[in-house]
Amino acid sequence: MQTDSSGQLTFEGAALNSLAAQFGTPLYVYSAQAIRSAYQSYAKACEGLADVTICYAIKANSNIHILKLLADEGAGFDLVSAGELARVLAAGGNPAKAVFAGVGKSVDEIEYALKAGVGCFNVESAAEMVRIGEVAQRLQIKANVSVRVNPDVDAKTHPYISTGLKENKFGVSMAAAPVVYAHAHQHPWLSVHGIDCHIGSQLTDASPYFDALDRVLALLDQLAAQGIVVNHLDLGGGIGIRYRDETPPKPADVLPKLIARVKTWATAQGRSMPSLSFEPGRSIVGNAGVLLTEVEFLKENEGKHFAIVDAAMNDLMRPAMYEAFHGVVAVKPNPTAQANTYDVVGPVCESGDWLARNRELAIEQGDVLAILSAGAYGQTMASNYNSRGRAAEVLVENGQARLIRRRETIEDLLRPEQDV
C-alpha cells in the first residue's frame, strides 16, 4: 500500500477511495501483485534445494479468482472440505496437486475427492484411515495417504490457532502413528505417501518448526525399522504476518534450513532425499488485502468515542473471535476533521462487534477507512449474522480493479428458505 501525492492511499496503483465509490462498502480489496510475490517468496526459498510443492491453504481466502492466480503461479492446494475442492476445480487447479486435510472428512467428501483425483489425504485418526480404505476399496480407486501427526510442540501462538499440542483435536499422536501407518501399509487400496504436520497459525518464532521436524524424522526412523518407508514430508503452514509490530520469520529464513536438516538426516540414514511440501495460507494473502468501510456515524458516550462503520464482525470475525489487532487508516486525509481516540465498531447487535479499539483517527461521517491485513481469514470467515449480505471483493492488478465477488443481495439471503 502506498500514499499518492495528494495523501490518498493506493493499492497496486488504484486509489482506495475511488474503489469504495465505484464498488460500494464494505469492500474487500486484494492486490494480485502482493499475492504473487508472497507465493514466490516461498517458491524461490526452495528453488534448487529439493522437490517442493507449495500447497496454498485455501481456507485463508478461497475466492476462485485468487485460487486461479495461484494455480497459474504453480501452487498446489491444501483443502479441508468438498466445497474447497469444488473451488479448486472451478479455478482450473490441478486436483493431483491438492492435499485433503481436516479431522472430520465425511464418506461423501472422501468419495468426491477420490473421484476427482485428489493428490493425497492427510489423515487425522485411525478411524478416518479405516474409512478412507473402505471408500477406496468400494470405488476401486487407490488412495494416497499421509498421516497427520501431532508432534506435541508449543507453537506459542493464540490458543485457538495452535494445533500441534496434544490437547488439540488435530492429528494422530506420535505414539499411535505407527499403528495407523501399519493399517495403511497392508491395505490393498491405500498407498502410504507421506507424513504431515501442521502445528499452528500466526507463528512468529521459527523454533517450533525445527522441534516438530526433529520429532517427525525420529518417527520416520521408527517406521523404516518397521519396513514402512515414507518418502514425502508435508511440514504444514503457519508462518505469521505483521498485523501490528510482529516480526515473523520469512520463508527464506526458515525453509532452506528445514530442507537442509532433512537432507542431513537422509544422508545419515543412507536414504534418498524425500520430496517436501508446505501449506502456507495467511502469509500468502493476509497482507495482500484490506477491508474498506465507510463511517456511518460518529458517537460519543460519556467521553468514549465510537466510529460506527458499515463493516461488522460478520464481515471480519477476527477481532471478535481472537481479540485480533488490525491496523485502521483513513484512505485519504480529512483536514477539517478533529482527531479523537475511537473504538471502530460495526452495526451488529453484539458488544463483541468491534473491529479496532482505541485508535487515534481524524475522521467524519462518510469517510472511508481501510482495515489492514484483512486478506486472510476475513471473507472466508464471514457470515450472514444479523441478515447482512457478505461484502463484495475486488482484485487490483496494475491499477485495474476487477470485481471477483459481487455483493450478496437480500434475495441471496432469503432464497434457501424460500426454495423449500
Ligand X SMILES: *Cc1c(COP(=O)(O)O)cnc(C)c1O
Task: Please state the residue numbers annotated as binding site for substrate.
Answer: 282, 318, 322, 350, 377
What is the smallest separation between the CB atom of 52 and ligand X, expressed in angstroms? Answer: 15
Which helix (H) or strand (E) segment holds residue 410: the answer is helix 410-418
Nearer to ligand X, 14 or 35 (CB): 35
Q: Coil, helix or strand for 207?
A: helix
Binding site for ligand X (CB under 6 A): 57, 59-60, 78, 101, 198, 201, 236-238, 279-283
CB of 236 to ligand X, least distance (A): 5
To the nearest whole angstrom, how small is the minimum distance from the Cβ of residue 230 to ligand X? 18
Q: Which is nearer to ligand X, 284 or 298 (CB)?
A: 284
Cβ distance to ligand X smaller for residue 31 or 283:
283
Q: Which residue is nearest to ligand X (CB)?
A: 281
In the complex with ligand X, which residue's Cβ is closer, 93 or 281? 281
User: Between vectors from CA 364 to CA 363 and to CA 365, what angle results, nearest 5°?
Assistant: 135
By 3-state DSSP, what share of the chain in percent is helix, strand and coil, each rounded to 5? Answer: 35, 25, 40
The residue among 36 and 271 lying less far from ligand X, judged by its C-beta, is 36
Q: How far apart are the C-alpha atoms of 141 and 189, rounded to whole Å?
A: 7
CA distance 215 to 134: 30
Distances (CA, A) of 294 to 55, 338, 345: 35, 17, 11
List the binding residues for pyridoxal 5'-phosphate. 238, 279-282, 377
Minimum distance between the CB of residue 27 and ligand X, rounded to whole angstroms? 23
CA distance 169 to 49: 33
Q: How far is Cα 163 from Cα 341, in angstroms, rounded to an integer?
A: 36
β-sheet bridge partners, residue 301: 304
Cα gap 45→61, rounded to integer Å: 23
Q: Which residue's CB is nearer to ligand X, number 234 or number 315?
A: 234
> Where do we find the cell 493506493?
10
Could you tell me the smallest distance in angstroms from the CB atom of residue 161 to ligand X? 7
Which residues are identified as catalytic? Answer: 349
- Report the C-alpha gap between 227 and 272 in whole angstroms: 15
Q: Which helix (H) or strand (E) holds 295?
A: strand 289-301
Q: Please report how close the Cβ of residue 379 comes to ligand X at its closest, in angstroms.
A: 14
Which strands sit side by side in the sheet containing 14-15, from one edge to the other? 2-3, 9-11, 14-15
- Quote the strand ranges of 302-338, DSSP E: 304-309, 328-330
Q: Is the Cα dihedral 38, 43, 46, 51 positive or negative?
A: positive
